[in-house]
Chains A and B, each alone.
Chain A
């Protein structure tokens, strides 16, 4: 409980994830902000995130053959 009270008792320590506008506002008011450059995976495109998940699940073949040699 002590930590929760401290949260409101002093100046905020802020980490801003994603949208810059929140960080900008706090910074204009003089509060320090650590910005984290975060974007939703694949720009939030569900078709692409689904493909990425399916690729992860399918994994690929278990046998990697070095004898395939260089391609062209």
Chain B
């Protein structure tokens, strides 16, 4: 007979592995998250208020306030945010995840991903592309203008197409993209191409927005990381399905707000366990060094929580150089090392060059503490000052302190019953 913790973990894994994420809509955030109303923004990572936010996240908040029309200038926006009259909440509490700064405002369109197995939904913003973007803390007029184009032109076209398609199943795209060399965190070129192939006919056929189609298709094919946000929403829908299961030691969320890193475990629901975010170890774009880098940031670690990103690095030789992981042997070592701290291998996300073994999937709190192996995360690196954007990419580690805290809390909880 299995011990109760093992039973709980098997139940959690079953929900997680059997999730069938489907993109069912592209809608304004306030439409699908009605609690996200006037004067409220969501951000990446565990809860953090304005004074403790890192500079890029403050920059993104200021930009979002201007985008919403709640502030006219950056100075007004900063004054509004620092006055405490803007409610800032963790996106995770709204079943939402956003890359890097991860800011959501009510008017921003979001991908609506439904886990068809259990019916729960998860949300993610639309990837803005490269260059000056809000997710890296940029907030000038060009950033706001692009966000408005996404809202007024891209999102309506995608919405029509997704509804016309009757939804787009994401797990088959993710499985195929993994076999084509994406780890879906820092490399999404295959997944983006496959998604475009799935959505393109529905974009074109019967579109009421023929005039903007060339702009829309240019945007989609010009951004290799477009699928990142879809993969994140898919992963969130799977991890939420495994959350809040009594006795489970499964890690259900890992996330960073640029100041602190936070984790959640199945047995303790929505409670966060946090420690200061660590600095990523990576490669920097010309002209930048580690002195320019902000500590680890973003909700995108939900991908590693599922078993993608650094956990799947053995299936993505092309990403190894980009994140400065070393040789392919090192990539293989990352995947094997992450297998030491997971409860299993994902049955639907396999790595061809490991004889189709599934990615190591389902981080076990106990194994992390016992082995001292900290989850690795492939990540973009933001400049520590708002507005400068991305300065590199690399690999970050989750601080072990979060796991130690979670273990202590779990033991106290169980012994008090």
Contact = CB atoms under 8 A, between A and B. Distances in A.
Nearest to A43: B372
Given A48-B369, A60-B247, A60-B267, A69 B411 contact: no
Contact of A51 (B94, B246, B372, B411): B411
B246 A65 contact: yes
Interface in A19-36: none
B411 A58 contact: yes
Which of B120, B269, B370, B415 has the largest count of A CB atoms less than 10 A from its CB?
Answer: B370
A61 interface: yes
The contact size tier of chain B is: 35 or more
Given A58-B414, A68-B246, A70-B118, 18 more contacts: A39-B372, A51-B407, A52-B370, A55-B414, A56-B3, A56-B5, A60-B8, A60-B246, A64-B8, A66-B11, A68-B245, A69-B120, A70-B15, A70-B115, A70-B244, A71-B243, A72-B94, A72-B270
A52 to B, nearest CB: 6
Interface residues of A, number: 24
B146 interface: no
Which of A42, A70, A71 has the largest count of B CB atoms less than 10 A from its CB?
Answer: A70
Contact of B92 (A41, A52, A55, A72): A72
Contacts of B4: 59-62, 64
Interface of A: 39, 41-43, 48, 51-52, 54-56, 58-66, 68-72
B197 interface: no
B244 A61 contact: no
B414 A59 contact: yes
Contacts of B94: 72
Contacts of B204: none
A72 B370 CA distance: 28
B52 to A, nearest CB: 23
A61 B417 contact: yes
Nearest to B117: A70
Given A48-B404, A52-B370, A62-B4, A70 B411 contact: no
